[in-house]
């Protein structure tokens, strides 16, 4: 799909942290942005061309979808991460009208949000039963329905303001300072230019019955002075002991040491998938050892070539 105006989809419903992430992407103001029901649907629309971009959570989300994102994005070569977006996470407790906390018997939210307010809830709502919901925004909006079967919801501040629900408590997250990481995904295309503060994401299947192979994988990074910033295992779904690793590392595929590391990994594990090189959201600069900078790589190759061309 190539139309004048790109179309964005995101993990809905409206008012979640994912929508907040989308709004931070330059060029989305006034753009065609639509919430969809699941990460899988969002990514499928990009794959099929129904959408140009999807915004989905990839790390530490309160809305779920993280493992769905890791798994689905890793399942073929038809998607590419173009950008990462960090969104601070804070929760409020809402109800249709003002009430005392000890009147709340049932409380709905997404399981992941629940995990992040559990201690607060145990302290302030010891009597309340948790009702799982498909999203924090859905839980909040459900309170407005006549047939609602719970008393309160935990959601993002944005939804509270959009719906007019009463905020009974705010900043109730157990761990202040939490952040969720989202990614902007498109079909494969030109990799964003290196900025000097980039990240690359790959997916590396671990050979069955050989978890020790992980060391060989990691060695390809360390021997080239490349730092990892995230490494997560995911089951492939084909049996016990079958995993792939989702890895973020510092650097850009246009940099020589990254090219060398990726080529080395490909030689060992041809099933490796490149999911994107893109600017770090935090713009932190990383330090590369002198002997693994591009100039050093070029000097080394020139030296060898001079020998071969004697």
**Do 102 and 151 meet the contact criterion of CB atoms below 8 Å apart?**
no
**How far apart (Å, rounded) are the C-alpha atoms in residues 58 and 8?**
17
Contact pick of 115, 122, 123, 193 for a copy of itself (by CB under 8 A): 115
Minimum Å distance from CB 100 to a copy of itself? 27
- CB under 8 Å to 170, separation ≥6 — which residues? 90, 91, 92, 93, 157
**Do 73 and 79 meet the contact criterion of CB atoms below 8 Å apart?**
yes
Q: Any contact of residue 175 with a copy of itself (CB under 8 A)?
A: yes
Q: What is the 3-state secondary structure (H, E, C) of 62-118?
A: CCCCHHHHHHHHCCCCCCEEEEEEEEECCCEEEECCCCCHHHCCEEEEEHHHHHHHH
Contact pick of 190, 196, 201, 208 for a copy of itself (by CB under 8 A): 190
Minimum Å distance from CB 275 to a copy of itself? 10
Q: Any contact of residue 147 with a copy of itself (CB under 8 A)?
A: no
Contact pick of 31, 75, 230, 286 for a copy of itself (by CB under 8 A): 230
**How far apart (Å, rounded) are the C-alpha atoms in residues 198 and 192?**
10
Q: Any contact of residue 72 with a copy of itself (CB under 8 A)?
A: no
**Do 69 and 183 meet the contact criterion of CB atoms below 8 Å apart?**
yes
Contact pick of 1, 122, 144, 228 for a copy of itself (by CB under 8 A): 228
Report cis status (omega within 30 of 0) of the bond before 258: no
* Number of residues in contact with a copy of itself under rule CB under 8 A: 64
Q: Any contact of residue 215 with a copy of itself (CB under 8 A)?
A: yes
Q: Any contact of residue 271 with a copy of itself (CB under 8 A)?
A: no
**Three-point CA angle 160, 164, 12, nearest 5°:** 45
Q: Any contact of residue 169 with a copy of itself (CB under 8 A)?
A: no
Contact pick of 19, 52, 59, 151 for a copy of itself (by CB under 8 A): 59
Q: Any contact of residue 27 with a copy of itself (CB under 8 A)?
A: no
Contact pick of 4, 189, 283, 287 for a copy of itself (by CB under 8 A): 189
What is the crossing angle of helices 256-268 and 294-308, to 10°? Answer: 70
DSSP codes of every residue in 37-57: S-HHHHHHHHHHTS-SEEEEE
Q: Any contact of residue 240 with a copy of itself (CB under 8 A)?
A: yes
Among the residue ranges 10-18, 28-36, 140-148, 260-268, the one whose residues contact a copy of itself (CB under 8 A): 260-268
Nearest to 87 by CA among 152, 188, 158: 158
Q: Any contact of residue 91 with a copy of itself (CB under 8 A)?
A: no
Q: Any contact of residue 227 with a copy of itself (CB under 8 A)?
A: yes
Find how far residue 230's CA is from the centre of its chain: 11
Among the residue ranges 15-23, 92-100, 155-163, 225-233, the one whose residues contact a copy of itself (CB under 8 A): 225-233
Closer of 23 and 293 to a copy of itself (Cβ)? 293
Q: Any contact of residue 97 with a copy of itself (CB under 8 A)?
A: no
Minimum Å distance from CB 303 to a copy of itself? 5
Instruction: Name the pairing type of β-strands 53-59 and 243-250.
Output: unpaired
- CB under 8 Å to 8, separation ≥6 — which residues? 22, 25, 28, 31, 32, 33, 34, 51, 52, 53, 54, 55
The size of the chain, in residues, is 310
Judged by the rule CB under 8 A, the positions of this chain that interact with a copy of itself are: 59-60, 86, 115-116, 175, 177-181, 188-191, 211-212, 214-215, 218-223, 227-233, 235, 237-241, 243, 253-254, 259-260, 262-268, 270, 274, 291-292, 296-297, 299-301, 303-304, 307-308, 310
């Amino acid at each position: 799909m190539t139309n004048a105006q790109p179309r964005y989809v995101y993990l809905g419903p409206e008012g979640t942290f994912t929508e907040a992430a989308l709004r931070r992407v330059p060029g989305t103001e006034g753009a065609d942005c639509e919430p969809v029901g699941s990460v899988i649907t969002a990514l499928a629309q990009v794959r099929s061309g129904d959408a140009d971009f999807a915004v989905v959570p990839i790390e530490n989300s309160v809305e779920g979808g993280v493992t769905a994102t890791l798994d689905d994005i890793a399942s073929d070569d038809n998607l590419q991460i173009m950008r990462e977006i960090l969104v601070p996470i804070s929760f409020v407790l809402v109800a249709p009208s003002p009430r005392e906390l000890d009147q709340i018997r049932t409380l709905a939210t997404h399981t992941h949000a629940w995990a992040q307010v559990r201690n607060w809830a145990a302290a302030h709502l010891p009597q309340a039963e948790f009702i799982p919901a498909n999203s924090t925004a859905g839980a909040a909006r459900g309170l407005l329905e006549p047939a609602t079967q719970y008393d309160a919801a935990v959601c993002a501040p944005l939804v509270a303001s959009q719906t007019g629900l009463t905020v009974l408590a705010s900043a109730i997250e157990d761990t202040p300072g939490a952040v969720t990481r989202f990614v902007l995904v498109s079909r494969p295309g030109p990799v964003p230019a290196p900025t000097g503060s980039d990240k690359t994401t790959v997916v590396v299947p671990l050979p069955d019955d050989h978890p020790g192979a992980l060391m060989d994988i990691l060695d390809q990074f360390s021997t080239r002075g490349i730092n990892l910033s995230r490494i997560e295992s995911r089951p492939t779904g084909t049996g016990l002991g079958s995993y792939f690793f989702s890895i973020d590392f510092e650097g850009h595929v246009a940099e020589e040491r990254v090219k060398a590391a990726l080529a080395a990994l490909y030689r060992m594990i041809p099933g490796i998938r490149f999911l994107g090189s893109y600017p770090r959201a935090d713009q932190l600069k990383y330090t590369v050892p002198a002997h693994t900078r591009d100039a050093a790589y070029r000097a080394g190759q020139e030296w060898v070539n001079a020998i071969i061309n004697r």
